[in-house]
A and B are shown apart, each in its own frame.
Chain A
Amino acid sequence: MIGHNTLVVLLGCAALGVAAGVVGSFALLRGRALLADAIGHAALPGVVLAAMIVSLLGGESRALAPLLLGAALTGVLGLLALRRLTASGRIRPDAAIAVVLSSFYALGTVGLSIAQTLPGVAQAGLSSFILGQAATLTESDAILAGALALGCVAVAVALFQPLRALCFDEAFARAQGLPVRALDLTLLGLLLAVCVAGLPAVGLVLVVALLVVPAAAARLLAGRLPGMLALAALFGAVAGAGGALVSTRFASIPTGAAVVLGGLVLFAGALGVSRMRRA
C-alpha cells in the first residue's frame, strides 16, 4: 500500500523531524529559533543561482546536492548580513531578521523570474522549495536530506553537556571556561544544516515551524532537558512523516502546510495536558 519510494521519503521526513526537534530545542532555549526563518528565506537566491549554474554547465538541474549547497551558501550570507545589521546597534534583532528574510527572498524571486526563461532550469521545480513538496522527492533526495539531518542529531547529542550549559546560563558556561563563541557557532551551523535539509520537503516559508513547534510542545511537557529533546524528536518525527504522508496522498496540499498543521495539533495537545496538570 505504501510504495518503496514513498516509504523512503517518509523515513527521510521523519529523520528531518527528529533533527529539527533536537536542534530546535537548543535553539529555542537559546532564544535563536527565529533565525531559522531568516536562514530559510535567505536560501532561495542560493537555490536559484545553483540551479542556473548547474544548467549552464550542462548538468542535471534537478540534482539536489548543488541546490542545497547554494542554499547553505546564501543562508550563511543571510546570517552575516544579520550580524552586520545588529552590530550597528540601531537595528534590533527583530527588524534585522525581517529585513534579511524579505530582501533575500525578494532577490530569490528576481532570480526565479530569470530562471524561468532558461530552458534547462524551468523544469527544476524550484518553486517547490518555497512551500515544500515531499511527494516529488526521489529516493536519493530523501536519503541525502535524512542523512544530513541525522548528522545534526549526532553532533547535538555529542555536544549535549556543553550545549546545555550554554542554553541554561551563558555567564556560567563562560566562567566554566567553555568556548561559548564556538558553541554558539556550532549551534548556528546545526540550525543552518537542518534548515537546508528541510527545504525540499517542508519549504522555506514554513521550515521555521518545524524547528519551533515540536520544541515548544516538548518544553510544555518535559521538566528536564533530556526528556525535552526526546519528546521534541518524537513530535518532530510524527509531524514530519505525517505531513509527508498527507501530501503524498493529496498532491495539491503542500507538505510544509501539512507538517506545520500536524505539529500544531501536537502542540495544542501538549498545551492542554500541561494546563490540566497545573490545574
Chain B
Amino acid sequence: MTDFLRLDFAALLAAMLAGGTCGLLGSFLVLRRESLLGDALSHAVLPGIVVGFALTGLRSAWPMLLGALGAALLATVAITWIRRAARLEAGAATGLVFTGFFALGLVLLEVTGARNADLDIDCVLFGQLETLVWLEAAGLASLLDPAALAGLPRQLGLLAGVALAACLFVAAFWRPLKLLCFDPDFARSLGLRVGRWEILLNLMIAAAAVAAFEAVGSILVIALLVCPAAALRLMTDRYAVQVWGGAALGAGLGAAGVLLAGPLPAALGLDFALSAAGLIGTLAGLTVAVALQRRRRFQAL
C-alpha cells in the first residue's frame, strides 16, 4: 500500500485530473467543430511556457500558466487574422499557426537554456507521468497529514486548480455554453457576447492543456481533449451525458492508463514498463473505435 502511495498514487491522480478536465472541456471543441483548435492550443502553449519559465527562472505554476495563456490567446488571434488576411480555410490557417508556435517553442527551449533545467523535449513529447512520485507517503495516514501532502508533486496543485475551475465554469455557465455550441448566431441575437464567451472558453481549454501538458505531454493532450468527447458523440444524444460523460471517460482513461502501464507488461511476463501517457492515448483511441463499432451494430438493428 505504501509502495502504491509512494510510486503510483501521484501519477494516478495527475492522469485522472488531466483526463477529467480535458474530457470535460473537449466536448465543447467537438460540438463546436473546432477540434483542430485543441490541436492548435496544445501546441501553441509551448513557447508561452518556455518564456514564462525563462523570464522568472522558476518552474512554478504561475509564470508558466500565464505565459501559456498569453501564447494561446495570441495563437487564436493569429489564426483568425491569417484566415482573413491570407484568405485561407480554417484548417490550413490553424496548421500554419500552431506549427509556427510549436517550432518557436522548440527553438526558445534551446536559446533560453530552459532545456538545461528540467523542462525538456521528452516532457513535451511524452509527458512525465513516470516521474510523479510521492516519497513522503508513509501509509494511508499520510493522506490526512498536511506535512506529507505538501510533498506531493507541485503539478498536482495546478491540475487540481484547473480541474476545479473547469467544473465550476461548466456548471455555472451551463446554458449559455450549450447555446454557444448549438447556435452562436441565435445566441448573438439574444444579446450574448459570443466573441467574449469564445475567448473565455478557449482560455479555459488552454489552461487545461497547460496543466495536462506536464503530465501527458503536448500531443497526447489532444487525445484527452478529443477522444472522450468523440466517443460520447457516438454513444449519446443527451447533452448532459455528452459533457459530464466526457469528463468521466477522460478520468477513467487516465486511471486505466496509469494502472495498466506497470502491471500489464508484468502480467505478460515482460520486465519493463510501458509509457503511461502513451497507453492513455492508445486506450482513448480504442474507446472511439469500440464506440464506432457498437454504433454500427446498433444502427444495423
- A residues neighboring B (CB under 8 Å): 28, 31, 33-34, 36-37, 41, 81, 84-85, 88, 90-92, 94-114, 117, 127, 130-131, 205-206, 208-209, 212-213, 216, 219-220, 250, 252-254, 256-258, 260-261, 264, 267, 271, 274-275
Contact = CB atoms under 8 A, between A and B. Distances in A.
B230 A95 contact: yes
A212 B95 contact: yes
A153 to B, nearest CB: 21
Top 8 A-B residue pairs of the complex, sorted by shortest distance between their CB atoms: A103-B285, A106-B281, A109-B278, A102-B223, A209-B99, A113-B275, A110-B278, A257-B103
A219 B92 CA distance: 12
A270 to B, nearest CB: 8
Interface size class for chain B?
35 or more
Contacts of A94: 33-36, 91
12 contacts: A34-B36, A36-B95, A95-B35, A97-B36, A100-B285, A103-B286, A104-B285, A106-B223, A114-B272, A206-B102, A212-B92, A275-B85
A99 B281 contact: no
Contacts of B251: none
A101 B275 contact: no
B277 A88 contact: no
What's the dominant secondary structure at chain B's contact region? helix
Nearest to A27: B92
Nearest to B223: A102
Contacts of B225: 98
Given A130-B125, A213-B99, 4 more contacts: A108-B278, A112-B278, A113-B272, A274-B86
A90 B295 contact: yes
Contact of B33 (A92, A131, A253): A92
Interface string B15-43: 00000000000000110011110110001
Contact of A102 (B91, B96, B222): B222
Given A252-B110, A261-B100, A106 B292 contact: no
Interface string B70-107: 00000000000010011011011011100110111011
B34 to A, nearest CB: 7
Contact of B278 (A41, A113, A220, A275): A113
